Amino acid sequence: MGEQIRTVDVAEVTRHIREMCIEANHFLSPDMESAMRRAAETERAPLGRQILAQLQDNLKIAGEDRIPICQDTGMAVIFLEVGQDVHLTGGVLEDAVNEGVRQGYTEGYLRKSVVGDPLLRENTKDNTPAVIHYEIVPGDRIMITVAPKGFGSENMSRIFMLKPADGIEGVKNAILTAVQDAGPNACPPMVVGVGIGGTFEKCALLAKKALVRPADSHSPIPYVRELEEEMLAKINGTGIGPGGLGGTTTALAVNINTYPTHIAGLPVAVNICCHVNRHIVRTI
Partner 1 sequence: MPAPLGEDDSEMDRHIHAPLDAEEVRGLHAGDYVYVTGTIYTARDAAHKRMQEALDRGEALPIAVKNNVIYYMGPSPAREGRPIGSAGPTTASRMDKYTPALLDLGLLGMIGKGKRSAAVKDAIVRNGAVYFAAVGGAGALLSKAVKASEVVAYDDLGTEAIRRLEVENFPAIVVIDAAGNDLYETAIEEYRM
144: number of CA atoms within 13 Å, CB side? Answer: 24
Tell me: does residue 109 bind partner 1 (CB under 8 A). yes
Tell me: does residue 123 bind partner 1 (CB under 8 A). yes
**Least Å distance between CB 236 and partner 1?**
8
What is the C-alpha separation between 127 and 65, in angstroms, rounded?
23
Segment contacting partner 1 by CB under 8 A, of 103-111, 205-213, 221-229, 257-265 = 103-111
Task: Rule CB under 8 A: choose which of 15, 112, 141, 282 binds partner 1.
Answer: 112
Task: Rule CB under 8 A: choose which of 173, 185, 199, 261 binds partner 1.
Answer: 185
Tell me: does residue 45 bind partner 1 (CB under 8 A). yes
In the complex with partner 1, the residue whose CB is nearer, 243 or 267, is 243
Segment contacting partner 1 by CB under 8 A, of 131-139, 165-173, 193-201, 269-277 = 269-277
Tell me: does residue 70 bind partner 1 (CB under 8 A). yes
Neighbours of 106 (CB within 10 A): 14
**Least Å distance between CB 48 and partner 1?**
8
Q: How many residues contact partner 1, by CB under 8 A?
A: 53
In the complex with partner 1, the residue whose CB is nearer, 212 or 240, is 240
Tell me: does residue 57 bind partner 1 (CB under 8 A). yes
Residues 137-176 that bind partner 1 (CB under 8 A): 150, 152, 155
Over the range 204-214, which residues count as b (16 or more CB within 10 Å of their CB) and which as e? bbbbbbbbbbe
**Least Å distance between CB 151 and partner 1?**
8
Task: Rule CB under 8 A: choose which of 72, 81, 99, 228 binds partner 1.
Answer: 72
Over the range 219-237, which residues count as b (16 or more CB within 10 Å of their CB) and which as e? beeeebeebbeebbebbbe
What is the C-alpha separation between 115 and 157, in angstroms, rounded?
20
Torsion of CA 213, 218, 221, 222, to 10 degrees: 170
In the complex with partner 1, the residue whose CB is nearer, 127 or 258, is 127
Residues 193-252 that bind partner 1 (CB under 8 A): 237-241, 243-248
Contact (Cβ atoms closer than 8 angstroms) between residue 132 and residue 248: no
**Least Å distance between CB 165 and partner 1?**
29
Segment contacting partner 1 by CB under 8 A, of 4-12, 163-171, 180-188, 198-206 = 180-188
What is the C-alpha separation between 188 and 207, in angstroms, rounded?
18
Amino acid at 107: E
Residues near partner 1 (CB under 8 A) are 44-51, 54-55, 57-59, 61-62, 65-73, 109-113, 121, 123, 125, 150, 152, 155, 183-185, 187, 237-241, 243-248, 274-276
